[in-house]
């Protein structure tokens, strides 16, 4: 039995794994799907003080209070940054980092560097103009590769603004030797190009395990069976 902790991306919540988690459990694995502060059913906790550090702490506390070890920590999209920060804090609780169509910081990079040239400044400007300076309104479901009418409606009811935080000092990730030594894998969703540069990097690096899914960005919604097979293979 493997232990999966699935960490959702920006604007989402633990709800986004609803179709995937039963498949992993049916295969005999243990699954946790925490929701980050300010999102999903915790949207009422959204404040200007919530930021990446808060979300890293969210997952560290789940691992501690659930007494989890040998965890396969999966981070989707934005949560690639989250799981990297968790690895710095509690590498002894982790067996593998799995980046699902996600941001992947190189060792010691800060968040701005990990996001790529100009991306953080672009997000900050978007927050300034449309999110009171500290949050990002949710894009439509179509931006995540969701096209079926029922899925679009389901997601529209659940996507929430994402906290960017105010005056967030640069946070460097994967700064400890133990974090850098963890096994890691990248799953690239080929129907989108947003994370193609990360895929190109890791697929040629022997330190990484690499897999592809012929799916859009939110593969846990549109291709849960295929994603489950990949994750079980990585376990």
* Segment 210-218 mean pLDDT: 97
Q: How far apart are CA 114 and CA 99, in angstroms?
A: 13
Q: Which of 21, 77, 84, 138 is catalytic?
A: 77
Question: Which residues partner with 136 through β-bridges?
Answer: 162
Q: Is the model's pLDDT at 50 over the cut of 90?
A: yes
Q: pLDDT tens digits for 72-118?
A: 999 999 999 999 999 999 999 999 999 999 999 999 999 989 998 88
Q: pLDDT tens digits for 108-167?
A: 999 989 998 889 889 999 999 999 999 999 999 999 999 999 999 999 999 999 999 876
Spell out the domain ranges in the chain.
Answer: 3-234
Q: How far apart are CA 171 and CA 186, in angstroms?
A: 22
According to CATH, the topology of domain 3-234 is Rossmann fold (3.40.50)
Kindly state the helix (H) or strand (E) to which residue 211 belongs, with its residue range.
strand 208-213
SS3 176: coil
* Segment 26-50 mean pLDDT: 98
So what's the pLDDT on residue 116?
Answer: 87
Query: CA–CA distance from 148 to each of 156, 221, 224, 226 (Å)?
Result: 12, 11, 15, 18
What's the mean pLDDT when you consider all of the chain? 96
So what's the pLDDT on residue 97?
Answer: 98
Cα three-residue angle 19-211-92, rounded to 5 degrees:
80
pTM of the model: 0.97
So what's the pLDDT on residue 169?
Answer: 65
Share of the chain above pLDDT 70, in %: 99
- Residue 170 pLDDT grade (very low, low, confident, very high; cuts 50, 70, 90): confident
Would residue 84 show up in a list of annotated catalytic residues for this protein? no
For 38, the token pair is: 């300010």
């Amino acid at each position: 039995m493997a232990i999966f902790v699935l960490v959702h991306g920006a604007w989402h919540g633990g709800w986004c794994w609803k179709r995937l988690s039963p498949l992993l459990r049916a295969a005999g694995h243990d699954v946790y799907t925490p929701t980050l502060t300010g999102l999903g059913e915790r949207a009422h906790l959204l404040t200007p003080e919530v930021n990446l550090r808060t979300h890293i702490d969210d997952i560290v506390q789940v691992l501690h209070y659930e007494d989890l070890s040998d965890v396969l920590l999966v981070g989707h999209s934005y949560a690639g940054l989250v799981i990297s920060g968790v690895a710095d804090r509690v590498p002894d609780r982790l067996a593998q980092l799995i980046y699902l169509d996600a941001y992947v910081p190189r060792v010691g990079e800060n968040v701005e560097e990990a996001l790529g040239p100009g991306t953080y400044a672009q997000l900050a400007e978007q927050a300034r103009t449309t999110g009171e300076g500290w949050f990002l309104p949710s894009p439509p479901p179509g931006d995540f590769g969701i096209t079926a009418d029922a899925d679009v409606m389901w997601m529209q009811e659940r996507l929430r603004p994402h906290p960017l935080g105010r005056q967030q000092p640069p946070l460097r990730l994967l700064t400890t030797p133990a974090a850098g030594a963890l096994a890691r894998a990248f799953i690239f969703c080929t129907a989108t190009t947003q994370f193609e540069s990360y895929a190109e990097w890791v697929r040629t690096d022997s330190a990484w395990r690499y897999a592809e899914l012929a799916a859009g960005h939110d593969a846990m919604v549109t291709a849960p069976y295929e994603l489950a097979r990949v994750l079980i293979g990585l376990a």
